[in-house]
């Protein structure tokens, strides 16, 4: 079926991305996996080529594409073909979460101070929500910000923080009012060299090794009032408003990886022989390939519609939740079955499908677990049914 998502401009952008991936990604991503982070030079190179900062305002050096996610989707698709999941995830954090936070919530002074270097790749940002023992329960956050003259003193710890080691700016979800209920939390920007801010362990994961993930520790960190992002007490509402884009990003990554895995598996099964014929000539293989391709095609149709809905400004949190849970479940199913078609070679890390298998599992966890996505969808359905009575 012909796809109608992209224009000629997007396809021209794709050629630029492919050149970048061939030059700056393919020769290095195995080394990034071993060192457990992407070279900072790669971030700066991506910034110079306009591949980081796509969502940033043009007046601050960004691409001005916040409401045209098709450019970001092109980048995800091309990184998926190189199986550079760690880089794709790190760039998504910057462009689909952090830059929009600063652009949408920041004061003019904050935007001028931070956005140009975030868009150029010179600054790497992180968001610190999860704590030991909290998981998806953001209201259980204990990291505290005590109000003092000129700002807050922050104490606490965060874990599972993407770009935790390399980050220059960390948006910390902080309890600034012990008795404030849902209005108890604020977003405070902690900078790399602030006294009392330190990195804990760099965490070893079963997938996405090039995506650096760490624990963060805050011990009497003074955060000035100028580093409050958005409004005091508005943290949870601000987080919720930005979640649809984050979940769309995860869903888009899911279908991009599934497409790449199917293409790799088709190539492998047509070249690999067993019992005197290509594996692709066996009926079971063809049935499996047909099922994988159909699942991916149907999923892509929905994700493409979600991208267009985002561009039009009407992607709901329920739509995004559906996209996130379905696409990531589909991704893990496709990758698992594709690995099976590779036989023993699929279990060898030098084969791309093995890397995809390792990287896929977290997709159903971060951005809100898929169980939380179903809770959001089901809750909206029940509320809608009750309101009609």
What are the DSSP calls for 233-300, one per residue?
A: T-HHHHHHHHHHHHHHHHHHHHHHHHHHHHHHHHHHHHH-EETTEEGGGSHHHHHHHHHHHHHHHHHH
The dihedrals phi and psi of 59, each to the nearest 5 degrees, come to -65, -15
Instruction: Write down the residue that tokens 């293989």 correspond to.
Output: 285
How far apart CA 99 and CA 242 sit, in angstroms, is 11
282-296 as b/e: b if 16+ CB within 10 A: eeebeebbeebbebb
Q: Kindly name the residue from 77, 78, 215, 246 that is annotated as catalytic.
A: 246
Phi and psi for 286 in degrees, rounded to 5?
-65, -40
- Taking 3-state DSSP, the helix, strand and coil percentages for the chain, each rounded to the nearest 5, stand at 60, 15, 25
CA distances to 66, 97, 116, 231 from 109, in Å = 20, 20, 12, 15
Q: Is-catalytic flag, 246?
A: yes
The residues, any chain, with a CB within 8 Å of residue 330's CB and separated by 6 or more, are 254, 255, 258, 295, 296, 299
3 state SS of 157: strand
Phi and psi for 49 in degrees, rounded to 5?
-90, 0
The CA distance from 251 to 85, in Å, is 13
Round to the nearest angstrom and report the end-to-end CA distance of the chain: 41
Distance CA 157, CA 144 (A): 10
Length of the chain measured in residues = 389
Of the candidates 193, 106, 124, the one whose C-alpha atom is nearest the C-alpha of residue 161 is 124
Task: List the catalytic residues.
Answer: 246
């Amino acid at each position: 079926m012909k796809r109608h998502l992209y224009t000629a401009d997007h396809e021209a952008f794709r050629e630029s991305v492919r050149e970048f991936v061939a030059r700056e990604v393919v020769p290095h991503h195995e080394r990034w996996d071993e060192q457990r982070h992407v070279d900072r030079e790669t971030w700066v190179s991506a910034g110079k080529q306009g591949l980081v900062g796509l969502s940033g305002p043009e007046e601050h050096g960004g691409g001005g594409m916040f409401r045209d996610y098709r450019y970001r989707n092109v980048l995800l698709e091309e990184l998926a073909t190189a199986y550079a999941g760690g880089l794709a995830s790190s760039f998504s954090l910057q462009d689909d979460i952090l830059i929009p936070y600063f652009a949408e919530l920041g004061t003019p002074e904050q935007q001028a101070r931070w956005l140009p270097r975030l868009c150029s790749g010179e600054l790497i940002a992180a968001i610190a929500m999860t704590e030991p023992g909290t998981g998806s329960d953001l209201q259980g956050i204990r990291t505290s910000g005590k109000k003092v003259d000129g700002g807050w003193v922050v104490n606490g710890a965060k874990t599972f923080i993407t770009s935790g080691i390399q980050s220059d700016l960390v948006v910390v979800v902080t309890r600034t009012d012990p008795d404030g209920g849902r209005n108890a939390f604020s977003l405070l920007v902690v900078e790399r060299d602030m006294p009392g801010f330190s990195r804990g362990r760099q965490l070893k994961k079963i997938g996405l090794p090039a995506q650096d993930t760490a624990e963060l520790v805050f011990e009497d960190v003074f955060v000035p009032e100028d580093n409050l992002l958005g409004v005091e007490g508005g943290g949870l509402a601000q987080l919720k408003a930005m979640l649809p884009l984050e979940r769309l990003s995860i869903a888009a990554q899911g279908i991009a990886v599934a497409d790449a895995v199917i293409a790799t598996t088709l190539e492998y099964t047509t070249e690999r022989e067993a019992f005197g014929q290509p594996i692709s000539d066996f009926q079971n293989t063809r049935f499996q390939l047909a099922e994988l391709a159909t699942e991916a095609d149907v999923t892509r149709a929905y994700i493409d519609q979600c991208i267009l809905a985002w561009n039009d400004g009407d992607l709901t949190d329920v739509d995004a939740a559906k996209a996130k849970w379905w696409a990531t479940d589909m991704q893990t199913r496709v990758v698992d079955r594709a690995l099976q078609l590779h036989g023993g070679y699929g279990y060898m890390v030098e084969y791309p499908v093995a890397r995809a298998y390792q990287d896929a599992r977290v997709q159903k966890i971060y951005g809100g677990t898929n169980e939380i996505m179903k809770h959001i969808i089901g809750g909206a359905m029940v509320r809608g049914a009750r309101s009609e009575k």
